[in-house]
Amino acid sequence: MDVRDLGEFGVIDRLRDVLGVSYESRLIVPIGDDAAVWHAGDTYMIATTDTMVAGVHFIPRAVPWGDVGWKSLAANVSDVAAMGGTPSFALVTLCLPPDTPVTAVDGIYQGLRECGREYGAVIAGGDVVSSSVFMITVAMFGEAERNADGSPALLRRDAAKPGDAIAVTGSLGAAAGGLRALQGDAPSGAARDALSRRHSRPRPRIDAGLAAVRAGLTCGMDISDGLVQDLGHICRASGAGAELLADSVPVDSVLTDAYPDDARAMALAGGEDYELILLGDEESLSRVGQALGPPLKIVGRMVEGDPAVRVLDADGAEVQLPRAGWDHLRDGSDA
């Protein structure tokens, strides 16, 4: 059996079995959430890591190196946002083929610095190694908010209950539209630029994660692999089902104009928007919307039953999606 037979999430389950979960009392959130959380002195430390590989996550020279740097940090910032925390420091490992131009390294670090400044994350160190394939790994640390009693205020995947409303921040699908535009299926120039930017320079929702934990919400994650797939992780972690109303999902308006036939499916299944899914009672969700400005969009509800997502149309009939999200080990040969 190869790892491709298990898929990304099967491999993660296997690793979790080998480690065992509750072996360390200071570990508050173990493997299986957007980030790990542990108790360190006076703080609750959030830690996450993410890797981008040339040919898998981006096509070298098809995008500016600064965008590669921005996005590698932004993916990690988003996992901190997904826990309701604030980024602090990051470590960067570059795996470089020896013929990598120095200007590529400069460009990547410009992008890392720009994203770090935007979100208050400082690059504190890292490693540079020789490799046959170009890769960049970012490990990021952040701090959790605290409740009045001093306990950590976190958004977890395993805290959803039947009856909870499911909301999303912002609008979805633009990053998938940007990837499609970059791959050559291009709409007009202005739309292509707007969508490509959403793919190459995503803007993680630290503001929404903080507003959510301050409103008392305890369940959420970021949308990195697509709304349907990511909501499925919440279902499995929480042991409850989800009913998602396809017509309620906020579709990016530029995407709707550019790809009118596919926009809704791309908003449901496309990855890398880095918006947040937030769950809870409607009153708390509406407080989060008030804190942010634009209201959150309620897109469905948690239900009793199978821990899986059912996508429903306006008549309550189940919608079959062409493809539900991204698995890095099964789909990893795509670019």
Please give the residue ranges that form the binding site for Mg ion (CB under 5 A). Answer: 34, 79, 82, 222, 224
CB of 286 to Mg ion, least distance (A): 24
CB of 230 to Mg ion, least distance (A): 7
CB of 330 to Mg ion, least distance (A): 18
Nearer to Mg ion, 263 or 278 (CB): 278
CB of 34 to Mg ion, least distance (A): 4
H helices of 183-252, in order, are 189-200, 206-214, 227-238
Q: For residues 91 and 128, is the Cβ–Cβ distance under 8 A? A: no
DSSP letters, 122-179, are EEEEEEEEE-SS-EEEEEEEEE-EE-TTS-EE--BTT---TT-EEEE-S-BSHHHHHH
CB of 82 to Mg ion, least distance (A): 5
Nearer to Mg ion, 50 or 252 (CB): 50
Q: Which residue is nearest to Mg ion, using beta carbons?
A: 34
Nearer to Mg ion, 156 or 198 (CB): 156
CA-CA distance, 224 to 226, in Å (whole number)? Answer: 6
Nearer to Mg ion, 79 or 143 (CB): 79
DSSP letters, 63-127, are B-HHHHHHHHHHHHHHHHHHHT-EEEEEEEEEEE-TT--HHHHHHHHHHHHHHHHHHT-EEEEEE
Nearer to Mg ion, 181 or 221 (CB): 221
